[in-house]
Structure 1
Amino acid sequence: MLNMFNLGSGLAVRWTLVALLAGGCVGGCCCCPNPNHPVTTMADLAGTWRGPFGGTLTLRADGTFARDQVVWCGESDQVPGPVALTDSGNWTLAAAEFFDDSQQVLLGSRQQLSISDKGELYSYVGDVDDPGTCRFRRGTD
Structure 2
Amino acid sequence: MSDYDIAPGGTGGIGRTYQYFTGTPTYPFGYGQSYTTFDYSHIRANTATVSADGKVTVRFDVTNTGDAAGATVAQLYAATPFTVPGVELPRKRLVGFQKTAVLKPGETERVSLTVNVADLALWDAQAMRS
TM-score normalized with structure 1 length: 0.24
TM-score normalized with structure 2 length: 0.26
More helix by share: 1
Higher relative contact order (CA 8 A, sep 6+): 2
